[in-house]
Structures are given as C-alpha cells and as structure tokens.
A = this chain, B = another copy of it.
C-alpha cells in the first residue's frame, strides 16, 4: 500500500493544473492498465499536461515530495510499462498531440509526444514524405521512442533508434534539455538521444521528438507466398537478407496465425506457413528485387506466390497482417495473450524457431507465431485464459525457455516491445551483472530519488 499523496503536494498540483489534476476514481481506473496481461494498478492522481514547461514544474514537485511519476499516452504497451506499480502520478500526455513542424527540405518532422503514428502519416501524406516505423498498434511517437519500437518496416528503415534525431526531455530535477540538433550526424558529446530512446520513462520524460522522414516510394508492390514448413520460409528470408536485397518488409505468419487471420479478416489464405513481402522503389528496381526473391522462394519450395500491386489489395493484405494480434485473441473466447519478443542473429533464426516449435508442440496452449523475420525478430503469441493460473504459469515457462534459448544463440530478450515489468530479470541473463550495474549507476545519477517510472527496466 502506498502512503497517501502529501496534501501540500496535491495543493500545488491543483494550483498549477486546476481540473487537469484529478483523483477521481473513474479517471484513476482509466489509467490502471495497458495492453499487457498484468492486473490493473491505480495511480494516486492523474495530471493532463499541456506543455513541456508544465511537466518541468510537475516533475520538480514530484522530486521534492518523492512522488513517482509515470508518463502515458496511447497506453499500447505489452509489457506493463505504464502501470503505476508504486503509486504516484500518471502523467497523461494526450493533450500534447500536435505536429509542431514538418521540414521536407531536411527530411525531418518535429512532434509532441502524444502524436500517433497514423496521425503523423495522415499529415505527411500530401507532402510526398512518410514516417516508416510501424509497430502495428497506433502507438504514440513518445511511447515508441521510449520503448525503442520498430515493426514491419525496420528491415528497410531501422528502428526508433535510427529514426529519432533529437529529443526534448524533462529530467528528474525538472530541467528541460535538448539532446541533439537537426543536423543529420554529429560527434558532439555523449549520445543522450540514444540514451533516452528506449529508456522507458525511467531517465527523463520525453516531451518533443525530432524524427527522420522519408520520400514516399515511387511504387509499392506486395506478395504472399506459402511454404511447406516454417523453416523453409525462414531459410528463404535468411538468403534474401544475406544477399542484401533491399526489401521493404518481410513478415512470417505461421499456419495457426493464418487460420486466425482467415477467420478474423474473412480471407481465404492457404493455411500454411506464409511470408508477406513488400517491395518498393522504381518499377525497374522492384522488378529486379522480385525476380531475385522469387528465385530464392522457389528454391525453398515456396508456392502460391501471389501479387497484390493494387493499393486496395495491398492494404487489405497488410491490414490482415496488422490485425493478426486481434485475430489470435479470437482463437479462444475470453483469452489474453502473453507475447514473446526475442530477436536473434539471422543465421540462428531457423534453429531458434524450430526448437521453439518443439516446445510449443508439447504444450496445451495455443501459440501462433508472427515474425519480423528480416530482422531475426519473432513473436510467439501465447494464448491464455486469464482465469487459469496454470495457463499464465505455462506461458511464462515457455517464454523463459524461448528467451534463454535466444540469449544462448547470441540474441536478445526483446527485439521491440521493451522491458517494462516483464523482462527485468532476463536483462541480467542477457547482459551480465556488471553491465546492469553500469545501467543502474546511470539511473541513480540521473534519478537519485527513483521517481521516474519506478519498478520498470531495472531493479534499483
């Protein structure tokens, strides 16, 4: 049980924020959960901030009274990032949803943290540019930055790590800093931008993000192709990557996930392990890429290579892929999903998936597999009945085996979802205690009172 918020503190918040500071039960409840399977936890108060300056003042108060503060916008975390497990203030950023400026001439956009990725791309549409990072969910740019998100386009465009140029951040002491400039590269100072990207709200609160944007591709073409086994599919991808073919996306969907997608999206895809491809560029470049890919696919017994060059067909196909998570939730009534997220060196991907499949075959849980396989990243969607403790236990047992196998193969416990509450212990297995101690030193030096999203990422 958390001690109540100090009354001096709540008075100061009321003065500063008026009705935008609230302890009303309905609002607290609304801020008690995310997309993870964790049970809800209520904050002790919610603040709706309108500006960086307001957040700086709020954090100063939180620091003074040692009250935890947990930033949240879209709330699409799968790992419990935004649950206020030590109480304190949920900082709702959704009023800060403005696209501040777009600079096509510098391939840059500057946005507030609660801007959603779809909103940004809608705004960019007529400029001839787009922002490629696409984690599936319509997440906020601030949240995507804080978790180093990526998704289907990362194989071509990289992750948030490569696509955030600079940040405005409020530190634990309530200072406002800029972590970089608008120059494309720099050797100036410690790389604070990359330190805050992926820091999950534990080192500072991101209040403005400068992003790279890209010219919209001249042409886009998509295709799907099914394989006798998942290992055949993955082996084809490995060869595509090793040849350096600049595919725009390549996604693996296993047999069970295809079944779920067919049901959910009313499609009629062949129920076999399947790759979704996207190609982009000049028509000549697409032609070259697809010829090479088709040849590789054939050599791994790929069949039913089907094209979708019309925008509507393509949109339908990728919408189905994006809805796969929700489709898989429908495999079992009233279920939730524990989602694994390992990423391994591409040469170990087939082995990693094959051994994982063997595990899954021995379990009673339904467990479709989706993968951003061009990056060596895949998700096992462990479908559980939240009312069955043994389901949760089994899911965590499988996840633990999948993670330890990935780490043994030179991989990481999380490719794109982040650590949150879920992977704190795996981090030690992945990095070793001495590296974790370096991370803890950094956390302690930047947030000595541990007010910033405590209980996430690291044990302090």
Contacts and interface: CB of A to CB of B under 8 A. Distances in A.
Given A176-B434, A181-B407, A407-B181, A414 B147 contact: no
A445 interface: yes
B150 A185 contact: yes
Nearest to A149: B187
Contacts of A375: 184-185
A206 to B, nearest CB: 14
How many copies of the shown chain assemble into the complex?
2
A62 interface: no
A214 B431 CA distance: 26
B184 A376 contact: yes
Interface residues of A, number: 92
A442 B282 CA distance: 46
A413 interface: yes
A18 interface: no
A107 B439 CA distance: 28
A105 B351 CA distance: 14
B179 A435 contact: yes
A7 interface: no
A246 to B, nearest CB: 9
A339 to B, nearest CB: 13
A73 interface: no
A343 B183 contact: yes
Residue among A179, A375, A426, A441 with max Cβ neighbours from chain B (10 Å): A441
Interface of A: 103-108, 147-150, 154, 158-159, 161-162, 171, 175-192, 194-195, 197-199, 203, 214-215, 238, 241-244, 282, 284-285, 288, 341, 343-347, 375-377, 406-407, 410-419, 423, 426-427, 430-432, 434-439, 441-446, 457-458
